[in-house]
Chain A
């Protein structure tokens, strides 16, 4: 007999006992749904964490400490040279960059020839041709008539246009404004001792584009293998004790990594618990399936006899009942899978990350419910196929 026929006839006998089939499936549904819920949430949390902890292109990880003044009207810089020197002396810190409006340097997003970049922009208020390599510097006249011109460093020029010469008189977009590159500067152009910058543009032109910028932010990059949360926290505590502005504001470190790590740990704990409960649920559900199949086999003894009498082999009878059991658990499993996803989506509406739908959880639900059906269906199916024809027909 063809598999298709087996499936059709199994399906029909399940349908003809609708209530019993559904009751038997409930255990499977609950078991699978709870496992899928927790796995979808756990996966979501893990993915969110990975994204947040993602190392930069050099394999280094970075964090940010921000300074917020108590009185938000005053413009003060939270980090002076002394602070920076102290932080830099920490052996785990590879690089310290200040992104501070007070020094006229801002971290800003932009694009050059279609490639996005995030650069430190020096907002010039006067003529500037510091460390110029090619082209010309920004002149007073550029500033006074708000000409959109820019100096970019060598690596940005090469990133956008391959050669310095091509870059000259080409465009760069920063925070929504397009500037003409009139000059190329050295990669290690700095203001003062620590304030690196990559791009110079006239301040007034920049400000009219209404830029949103990070002020008073310290970007720390660590050597690989550092516990970045702990080190950053230490530096933050140190700043709050003896930083240059510790009395007029506070230094904060928003540790997204730690938060997500915490959530993941909690979810991991819950996962073990749920998986344990679900296994018990699935086991009991499996016993239920077995029980139902035994009842079905004894109720349908006559049918089994008739099928054998017209030539069904033992194997065909075995498969009929086995497929019936598997279809029962598999339908339960699929309903449970959908229910689990629904619940996970519902819960993640209240969490800072999204539940993740993955093919592996689907396969898990599919596989587990099939296995439950096979394991708990095999004995009743064997009983059916081993029945003695003569005894049945008497």
Chain B
């Protein structure tokens, strides 16, 4: 599904170019549950932003199914982002003065759906992430774990091909982290591809594949051995 060929990315820092990714090649199949680990500043977010269609400014080739992502213009890139990926951020990134339901329905609004259809779909998804009946609540009245569930609901509302999460448990305590991981696991077991950046060994251990990054280079890529399997 996802095929990166020799991806490099440089940032301008002042007058210099800082190379955050060095010729990364990577293939991810549909249905995988992937963890990306590495020290701070190693380029995890940079990589996952490219994979999740947030950043189209890089060298190398990105094939997504039959689409060459790096050839898309800004509008088509935005459409792909809207329809094919769900993004979950560390700090939830919910619009504060909009209700939970409106936040979750936002991608559908940009997809051009009718309000009535959006509301029905949003309520379904909220139930799926364990927040039934919270359409009209405001995000600030929810706990961190609940807010992350809202963010996950927003990510899956368009039934995207894959989910991308950048340290989704980074701002949560360990008990809440476990709940959120359980939710991701469940989504993956129902067929959703999940790619997740994490700092936490315990989190990474629950995935099926672990990719390690150091200084913008792939360090290792291996299957995760589960104690129970």
**Chain A residues at the B interface, C-beta cutoff of 8 Å:** 1-2, 5, 13, 16, 302-303, 305-316, 389-390, 393
Contacts and interface: CB of A to CB of B under 8 A. Distances in A.
Nearest to B52: A309
B154 A389 contact: no
A311 B79 contact: yes
Residue of A2, A13, A311, A389 most packed against chain B (CB within 10 A): A311
B55 A1 contact: no
A311 B111 contact: yes
A369 B211 CA distance: 57
B106 A310 contact: yes
B95 to A, nearest CB: 5
Interface stretch (B59-67, B81-89, B215-223): B81-89
A311 B55 contact: no
Given A390-B49, A390-B54, A311 B93 contact: no
Interface string B127-163: 0000000000000000000000000001000100000
26 contacts: A1-B109, A2-B112, A2-B114, A5-B109, A5-B115, A13-B97, A302-B93, A306-B94, A306-B106, A307-B106, A307-B110, A308-B78, A309-B89, A310-B81, A310-B110, A311-B83, A311-B107, A312-B110, A313-B78, A389-B54, A390-B49, A390-B54, A390-B55, A393-B49, A393-B89, A393-B93
A138 B154 CA distance: 100
Contact of B95 (A303, A313, A316): A303
A383 to B, nearest CB: 16
Nearest 3 interchain pairs by C-beta: A311-B82, A310-B107, A313-B78
B75 interface: yes
A307 B94 CA distance: 10
A390 B46 CA distance: 9
A310 to B, nearest CB: 4
Contacts of B158: 311
A13 B98 CA distance: 10
Nearest to A303: B95
Nearest to B11: A390
A389 to B, nearest CB: 6
A115 B83 CA distance: 75
Interface residues of B, number: 27
Contact of A313 (B49, B79, B83, B106): B79
B78 A314 contact: yes
Contacts of A315: 75
Most central of B82, B110, B112 by chain A CB within 10 Å: B110
Contacts of B112: 1-2
Nearest to A5: B109
B190 interface: no
Contacts of A309: 54, 81, 87, 89, 93
A311 B94 contact: no
B116 interface: no
A13 to B, nearest CB: 8
Contacts of A308: 78, 81
A311 B107 CA distance: 6
B74 interface: yes
A311 B93 CA distance: 14
A315 B54 CA distance: 17
A313 B97 contact: no
A390 B115 CA distance: 29
B54 A316 contact: no
A168 B54 CA distance: 97
Nearest to B107: A310
Contact of B75 (A16, A302, A313, A389): A313
Contacts of A311: 78-79, 81-83, 107, 110-111, 158
Nearest to A2: B112
Contacts of A303: 95
Given A311-B78, A311-B81, A312-B78, A16 B111 contact: no
A389 B56 CA distance: 10
Contacts of A302: 93
Contacts of B114: 2
Contacts of A13: 97
Given A315-B75, A393-B89, A310 B154 contact: yes
A5 B81 CA distance: 20
Nearest to A302: B93
A306 B114 CA distance: 21
Contacts of B55: 389-390
Interface string B154-186: 100010000000000000000000000000000
Given A311-B81, A313-B79, A1 B110 contact: yes
A1 B89 CA distance: 24
Contacts of B75: 313-315
A232 B94 CA distance: 80
A312 B74 CA distance: 11
Nearest to A313: B78
